[in-house]
Homo-oligomer: A and B are copies of this chain.
Amino acid sequence: MSSLDALAENLPEGRLLTDPDVIDSYARDRTFLEPGKALAVVLARTRDDVVTTMRWASEHRVPVVPRGAGTGLAGGATASEGSVILSLARMTAITELSPADEIAVVEPGVITADLDRAAREHGLMYAPDPSSYEISTIGGNLATNAGGLRCVKYGVTRDSALGLEVVLADGRVLNTGRRTMKGVTGYDLTGLFVGSEGTLGVITSATVRLRRAPAAPPATFAAEFGSLRDAAAAVSAIMAAGCQPSLMEMLDRATLKAIDDWRNIGLEDSTQAMLIGQSDAADSQAAITAMGRLCEASGATFVAVSSSPAEAEELIAVRRMAYQAKERLGACLVEDVCVPRSALPDMISAIEAAAARHDVMICTVAHAGDGNLHPVFVFDHGTAEPPAQVWAAADEVFTKALEFGGTLTGEHGVGVLKRRWLSLESGPVTADVQQGIKAVFDPLGILNPGKAI
């Protein structure tokens, strides 16, 4: 414990927490994974706290697990044995918000939706909106390159990150990127840190791009289908017509059933899938009407269209209930495959086949416009680890996604959960290069070891 004393001495009062219950409360993310036993939590409030922690960790070769709000779904922020947990959740300042330049400079602990709200006071928005955006942090979003509902139109977190301040493993401070909309001075280090899941450095400030918020509330449609393939065909038709939805979500029957059992949404027996779409364009009403017609042409059994914000909220509410509804059914392994859009129907069939073959309950929601599916494997709360048939079904889903030209993870990151499939997607040359890059930034291997790569 003497090495921890040295850290305590160099940090301001109250930043180092060693109470086992407190440590435990910072050790998990939203997966079922059991964390290792961590030594302590550093509750950083300033960049200097992070510098102090990393210098100490390098000196004593102690692993550091950086974390934001712990809303991750892949285990990236799960504490490892003998580590110090470095929480950035208290670094919550919006340092600058420039409407003229459409940028903000923020600390990593800023809640995603808070930044969006601050931007909207100036007619702007912060576009990335992972489903957890009311509780997730910008730092965590950057670490996983989080996506969200709006990214079908506005791109992922990477597309809003202009520059970063990063504390390296040895405590040096690196500034990457810029405040401008374009720039090619040197290698793209900003892009390298985004999605690196805390394995290359600790982000202590970010310059992010804001966008002009739409002038009017979005127009919304919800459509029901007798088959998932019809719904997928509607998505293809909508995207091919250039309708530019700002949201395009798909829910399968298992998900709808879970929601209906919980909140009674009047689910029809014939409904196998629901699509929910929005347009925030200047001609949103025309765009959404066109989308509704394309749903009908693709075989929708029911289509509702609205441009009233209250009605839109009602239509979207079903989507927002999806995850909670599933959590009521059991423990969840949430996956995140992404396939080329044309493979969406085949991927859906493959998920249904895997569920049937392995007798596993899989509820799927999808950011359908991006080809990004979240098959949620539901299993008994009683078991700490998913049972063998869940892993077998997941294995089948991943293998199929890669066969279709897809990827293991669209927006959640690799974390711990997806490492077992990593070699299926990336060959030995990639692994070699990634290890080389890791060694440049973290030669002692103390930054979030065992994660991401």
Give the interface size bracket for A toward B: 35 or more
Specify which chain B residues have a CB less than 8 angstroms from the CB of A439 in the assembled complex. 440
Interface residues of A in 13-66 (CB under 8 A from B): none
Q: Are A187 and B437 in contact (CB under 8 A)?
A: yes
Dominant secondary structure of chain A at its interface with chain B: loop
Q: Are A407 and B187 in contact (CB under 8 A)?
A: no
Instruction: Report Cα–Cα, A434/B188, bound state, in Å.
Output: 10
Interface locus among A269-277, A300-308, A351-359, A421-429: A421-429
Q: CB of A412 within 8 A of chain B?
A: yes
Q: Are B242 and A182 in contact (CB under 8 A)?
A: no
Output the nearest chain B residue to A340 by Cβ-Cβ distance.
Answer: B101
Contact A147:B182 (CB < 8 A) given known A212-B242, A453-B187? yes
Interface residues of A in 324-366 (CB under 8 A from B): 338-342
Q: Are A182 and B372 in contact (CB under 8 A)?
A: yes
Specify which chain B residues have a CB less than 8 angstroms from the CB of A182 in the assembled complex. 147, 151, 156, 338, 370-372, 407, 410-411
Specify which chain B residues have a CB less than 8 angstroms from the CB of A409 in the assembled complex. 183-185
Output the nearest chain B residue to A343 by Cβ-Cβ distance.
Answer: B101
Instruction: Report Cα–Cα, A413/B183, bound state, in Å.
Output: 8
Specify which chain B residues have a CB less than 8 angstroms from the CB of A100 in the assembled complex. 236, 240, 340-342
Specify which chain B residues have a CB less than 8 angstroms from the CB of A410 in the assembled complex. 180, 182-184
Interface locus among A192-200, A218-226, A291-299, A379-387: A192-200
Interface residues of A in 169-227 (CB under 8 A from B): 172-176, 178-189, 191-192, 194-196, 200, 212, 215
Q: Are B406 and A341 in contact (CB under 8 A)?
A: no
Q: CB of A228 within 8 A of chain B?
A: no
Specify which chain B residues have a CB less than 8 angstroms from the CB of A183 in the assembled complex. 338, 407, 409-410
Output the nearest chain B residue to A425 by Cβ-Cβ distance.
Answer: B185
Instruction: Report Cα–Cα, A254/B37, bound state, in Å.
Output: 68
Contact A181:B434 (CB < 8 A) given known A175-B427, A191-B188, A240-B100? no
Instruction: Report Cα–Cα, A339/B98, bound state, in Å.
Output: 14
Q: CB of A103 within 8 A of chain B?
A: yes
Q: Are A340 and B180 in contact (CB under 8 A)?
A: yes
Q: CB of A430 within 8 A of chain B?
A: yes
Q: CB of A433 within 8 A of chain B?
A: yes
4 nearest CB pairs, A to B = A191-B191, A436-B440, A100-B342, A212-B242
Enumerate 7 A-B pairs (CB-CB under 8 Å) in ascending A order.
A155-B159, A158-B188, A159-B159, A179-B340, A179-B405, A182-B410, A282-B283
Known: A181-B341, A184-B195. 7 other contacts (CB 8 A): A100-B240, A101-B342, A147-B182, A179-B406, A182-B411, A185-B409, A212-B244
